[in-house]
Structure 1
Amino acid sequence: MSEENFKIADIIFAYIKGTITESELEELTEWMNAAEDHRKLFQQIITSESYRDKDAVYRRFDSYYDFDRLWGTIRTRKRSMWKYVAAAAVIVLPLLVTFLLQMKQEGISSGKIALQPGKSLATLTLSDGSSKVLSPENFDLMDGSKRIVNDPGGLNYQVEDTSTCAETTYNEITVPRGGEYKVTLSDGTRIWVNSESYIRFPVVFQGDERRIWVAGEVFLEVAKDAERPFIVNTEKLDVKVLGTRFNVRAYPDEKCVQTTLVEGCVQVDNSRGEVAVLHPSEQLVYDVRDGNHEVREVDTELYVSWKDGVYVFVSQRLEDIMSLISKWYDVDVFYQNSAVKDMMFSGRLKRYENAEALLKVLERLGGVKFSVQGKTVVVEDE
């Protein structure tokens, strides 16, 4: 492994941990834009749970590759050296990142553990396929003739004259675990993108509708436009609005998709072609297993307060609470007794505080204990 690749791997680890510096962000962006394989590898590392489990990586590696033979071939076949080096980099970089992650976790576990909250982190993919790592730094860039401004308030698409936009082009934003980001689209719609989430959207909206694609969790304040409805596509549901404030939670690993309306009115179409209309303080819950949905009245603060920096829990299952903590604090959760998953708790957690404060409160309420081992929270009953 070259010294350069060791350095890139360490920078990727810093990105995962949320400790990456501005100069490292620039270097990481240059490396991703140097080759399509680099960008794909980076996305794979930050979004795949397998790369956070060293044993899983070793098993995959041993199943498909003979490392000693590969490097022996590189040494003996100089003419095709770069081809093999590239192949080795694709294999070794995720392995190296996982190894570094494991080493740093082991170093941390010997002292006081602090479950640090997430930060403003994301990856922007432009219409030409190039990528840039986002953080609360000031910069401007162009995607074709469209200006994109980034500052501590998030990403802002500034298009003064849409008449020059003959072709619809798309951007994508991917937020890793332990990250979040804010985006203002070209029509003025504001989107809060939560941890482990993805959005795809036109740089400039064309035609008679405004359509975006979402996975994970987002909160939207949709700019009013009576002539062009705004449509949020998830894998299972379409949410159609004119101007409103609402939350969509559609994580692939969860059993339900939720749409929670704060203000305005939305129409929700499911994969069966069934339609439901929501009014303020109503939530549609779609069961991905049987395709059924129900509409219920809820306290919207419980579902949208995350975008204002607070988690509020009222008689909520412990498994659901720990799922939120897992995504935002970038930790895994292990239950020594699965029965504790259904215990009900209430509480309040400031999103940017150490999670241990909430865990101690839950312990004081009784019936459950927590311990932190590296990047894993172990849950057991008393």
Structure 2
Amino acid sequence: MKEKTNLKELFNKYLTGKASEGELLHLLDFFKLEEDSALLRALILAELEEEEALETTEEQHAILDRVSSVLKYGIRNEKVRLRRLYVRWAAAAAVVIIAGFWIALERIQEGAGIFTSTRQEVIAPGQDKAILELEDGRIINLDSSIGSGVKNSYVFADTNGMMTFNTRGLPATDKKSGERTLSTPKGGQFAVLLSDGTKVWLNAESSISFPAIFAQHTRDVSITGEVYFEVAKNPTKPFLVHARQQTVKVLGTHFNINAYPENDAVQTGLLEGSVAVIAGGKQVQLLPGQMSVWQESQGGLKVGRIPDPETLLSWKGGMFCFDHNNITEIMQVLARWYDIEFSFENGDYSNCVFDAMIPKKKSIQEVLNILGASQQLEFKIKGRKVVVSQTNSNSN
């Protein structure tokens, strides 16, 4: 029987990216035996608990049983979409670990990847960075180069680790009626704590404009892109969010707005409290678990249920969550987070849809490997541009 200490050492080498090809094959060989499989499952659970402070549950063991099957049979699917490889967010780390095993094994055994690159540069994921423009025109870059004075006074990490700018201690300039704008570039995310105590999270390529001092009777802000709000309650002073042709009116609640300009619709999902959504001369009241969709070309303002609240907020929790998303939608998300461009070679991509949950901290190469494991698509990286094409078997 193999020494179990060897398996633990190999597993740790894999997690730290130090495992050689031979060691990876050795680790995968361990997984074929049930007694060693149990230990590897335990090691994966230990990794999950370290990152997520999770408890060992029957559900997690069921997830790992699926992971075992993934490794045994591969993550390929003869259908045109990738199967769900997770039940909850807790499963995502284990799934990606095992998916990484399988993909690496394929590349070792077959000597070919599912994407090619003309450069060896690794396209890293986005990070916490933003630009704050003050009402007097001054610019503050909020990134790793920020000065210690500003960082110590106004910037802190929230409970999820996202960097947050605290405007409550930032004095107003002489132009008290002016607006401040916090914006994230491609490859950036940030949060801001407004003067009234409202917390706002900004996804990549998003912005929020707000006054240095809120008006006497309302709290008005404007946003672009995707933004999540936890509005401080104030029954006498409604909070108004303006996004394109839509306004959301709240007193105190938690909700998400997706208003990226490339999307036809503006989506507002309510997690807690109550909001009124106003657009196109119509007003609807949302309850927790409901979502409004404002799409002028498709009948105006409509209300439905949020399909999956966890999916809605996956971006805020550090995950890509694709729920039957077309590859075009997926590439738009990846382009914003990795600051890349993309294009498609000729073909019909309408049936290329995916269900997957992948940590946003992965490099673009790792994400494309996971998507490409369905054998529908191939990806070529040229500098900071990704070219998507169909495999020969899928294009016929």
Q: TM-score, normalised on structure 2?
A: 0.63
Listed as ranges, the matches of 1:307-318 within 5 Å are 307-318=316-327
Q: Which amino acid aligns with 1:262?
A: L
Relative to structure 1, the CA distance from residue 282 to residue 246 in structure 2 (aligned partners, 3 Å threshold; closer, same or farther) is same
2:292 is equivalent to residue 284 of structure 1 = yes
Q: Which runs of 5+ in 1 are unaligned?
A: 1-108, 142-146
C-alpha contact (below 8 Å) 1:222/1:243 kept by paired residues: yes
Q: Quick one: distance in 2 between partners of 1:185 and 1:294?
A: 30
Q: Distance in 2 between matches of 1:196 and 1:234?
A: 14
User: Equivalent residues in 2 for 1:1-382 (5 A)?
Assistant: 110-136=118-144, 137=146, 139=148, 149-152=154-157, 153-159=163-169, 167-270=176-279, 272-290=280-298, 292-297=300-305, 298-382=307-391
Q: How high is the sequence identity, in percent, across the aligned residues?
A: 32
2-structure distance, mates of 1:112, 1:291: 48
Residue by residue over 1:269-292, the C-alpha shift from the partner in whole angstroms, topping out at 9 and shown as x without a partner, is 00x210111112221112243561
Residue 206 of structure 1 and its aligned partner are, at CA, apart by 2.4
Instruction: Give the letter aligned to residue 167 of structure 2.
Output: Y
Deviation, 1:304, is: 1.4
Residues 114/249 of structure 1: CA separation in 2 closer, same or farther (3 Å cut)? same
Go from structure 1 to structure 2 and tell me whether the alpha carbon gap of 1:138 and 1:341 turns closer, same or farther (over 3 Å shift).
Answer: farther
Q: Would the aligned equivalents of 1:198 and 1:214 in 2 still touch at CA under 8 Å?
A: yes
Matches of 1:225 and 1:160 in 2, distance apart? 21
Cα-Cα RMSD: 2.6
Contact 1:194/1:217 (8 A) holds in 2:
yes
SS at match of 1:238: strand
Structure 2: which amino acid aligns with 1:154? T
CA distance, structure 2, for counterparts of residue 140 and residue 325 of structure 1: 34
Structure 1 residues 253 and 315, CA gap change in structure 2 (3 angstroms): closer
Q: Distance in 2 between matches of 1:342 and 1:287?
A: 24
TM, length-normalised to structure 1: 0.65
Q: Which has the higher contact order (CA 8 A, sep 6+)?
A: 2
1:197 CA displacement: 1.3
1:186-237 CA-partner distances (Å, limit 9, x unpaired): 0111111111112110122221111101111111111111111111001110
Deviation at 1:158, TM superposition (A): 2.1
Contact 1:123–1:175 (CA<8 Å) still a contact in 2? yes
Distance in 2, matches of 1:304 and 1:165, equals 38
Task: Provide runs of 4+ in structure 1 moved above 3 Å.
Answer: 136-141, 159-162, 164-169, 288-291
Answer whether contact 2:347 2:390 (CA < 8 A) is retained. Answer: no
My pick for the range that moved more, 131-140 or 330-339, is 131-140
Q: Which ranges in structure 2 are unaligned for 5 or more consecutive residues?
A: 1-116, 158-162, 392-396
| Contact 2:209–2:222 (Cα < 8 Å) also in 1 | yes
Would the aligned equivalents of 1:138 and 1:150 in 2 still touch at CA under 8 Å?
no
**Quick one: structure 1 residues 161 and 170, their matched pair in 2 at CA, closer, same or farther if it must change by over 3 Å?**
closer
Partner of 2:220: helix, strand, or coil? strand
Q: State the Cα distance separating 1:148 from its structure 2 match.
A: 7.0
1:78-101, Cα deviation, whole Å (9 max, x unpaired): xxxxxxxxxxxxxxxxxxxxxxxx
The aligned length equals 268
SS at match of 2:315: helix
Q: Distance in 1 between matches of 2:130 and 2:355?
A: 31
Higher helix share: 1
